[in-house]
Amino acid sequence: MWGMPRTSAVNARPTSLRRNKAPKRARRSPQSTNASAATIARILDGARKVLIEDGYSAFTTRRVAAAVGITGGNLAYHFPSKRDLLRALIGKLLADYSSRFEAILAEPDAPVGDRLEALIRWLFTNAISVETVHTARELWVLALHDATVRRALDDFWDEGTKVISQLVQRARPRARALQAQELAHVITIITQGMIVLYGTGRERAVPHERAVEIVTGLVNVLLPEL
């Protein structure tokens, strides 16, 4: 498979012809790059809005372009297909979560254990927000029918759980990596369960606020055992 290059008709062409085959692309100016980044941000915000308000069955690149106020061709320039757009949207969600995690991790005046509890409370509270509930549930449905979305969501959960695991290890330096990963997975599972249980039915036998207190209490009990 890998080895010496084979001689072909293309390789046998004169050097001058091969050099002229692909003209160099013009470099983008900083202004153009910034404008492109701003457009991408608008598109991803619009994509999430369409997904939340209209659902996966009505989610199309044309509808997203209309929501953003750009042409379909402009959107296709950045995201050639709906799959590309959804994958980028999931990537943005992960980046937003990572930024929030980093902000909690970087809190200078709080002990590491308190930072972990703060992260857990934020995860469980964010899990029942309207934006998170609708986005997550729509993406779950899409993942059942689209392998690209399914892989992107798997990466999202893996990366998020990895960050939680790292924070657990900071709180308990003597804990084995596997123990930290196990606890992080439990936290992730409970977070997803919060979306299911409290996402559209806040009035449960156990209120959401009480459930958060119970889970954070359990984590605080388990941490010293690591």
Q: Which residue has the higher pLDDT, 43 or 142?
A: 43
Counting residues of the chain whose pLDDT is more than 90, the rounded percentage is 45
Q: What is the pLDDT of residue 36?
A: 85
> pLDDT grade, residue 5 (50/70/90)?
very low
Element (H, E) at 73: helix 72-78
Give the chain's domain count.
2
Together in a domain, 142 and 181: yes
Q: Which residue has the higher pLDDT, 214 or 172?
A: 214
Phi, psi angle pair for 61, to nearest 5°: -65, -35
User: Residues 84-107: pLDDT tens digits?
Assistant: 999 999 989 888 888 888 888 777
Q: What is the pLDDT of residue 28?
A: 53
Residue 61 belongs to some domain of the structure: yes
How many residues can be counted in the chain?
A: 226
Q: What is the pLDDT of residue 221?
A: 80
Residue 154 belongs to some domain of the structure: yes
Residue 222 belongs to some domain of the structure: yes
For 133, the token pair is 């509930």
For 184, the token pair is 């992080």
Q: How far apart are the first and last CA of the chain?
A: 48
Residue type, 99: S
* CATH number of domain containing 65: 1.10.10.60
User: Residues 63-89: pLDDT tens digits?
Assistant: 999 999 999 999 999 999 999 999 999
Angle between helices 30-54 and 82-105 (to 10 degrees): 100
Q: What is the pLDDT of residue 101?
A: 81
Decide if pLDDT at 1 tops 70: no
Angle between helices 130-145 and 147-171 (to 10 degrees): 130
Q: The domain containing residue 56 runs over which residues?
A: 29-80
Question: What's the whole-number average pLDDT of the chain?
Answer: 82
How large is the C-alpha radius of gyration of the chain? 23
Together in a domain, 154 and 169: yes
Distance CA 104, CA 116 (A): 8
**3-class SS of residue 107:** coil
Together in a domain, 223 and 115: yes
Phi-psi region of 71 (alpha: psi -120 to 50; beta: other; left: phi over 0): beta
DSSP letter at 115 equals H
Residue 13 belongs to some domain of the structure: no
- C-alpha distance from residue 191 to each of 115, 130, 132, 187, 203 (Å): 17, 15, 11, 6, 18
User: Residues 180-214: pLDDT tens digits?
Assistant: 899 999 999 999 999 999 988 778 899 999 999 99
Together in a domain, 40 and 108: no
Q: What is the pLDDT of residue 226?
A: 65
Together in a domain, 69 and 87: no
Residue 11 belongs to some domain of the structure: no
Residue 14 belongs to some domain of the structure: no
Name, in order, each residue with C-beta under 8 angstroms of 41's C-beta and a sequence gap of 6 or more: none
The whole-number average pLDDT for the span 132-137 is 92
Report the Cα 36 to chain-centroid distance in Å. 21
Counting residues of the chain whose pLDDT is more than 70, the rounded percentage is 83
Residue type, 120: I
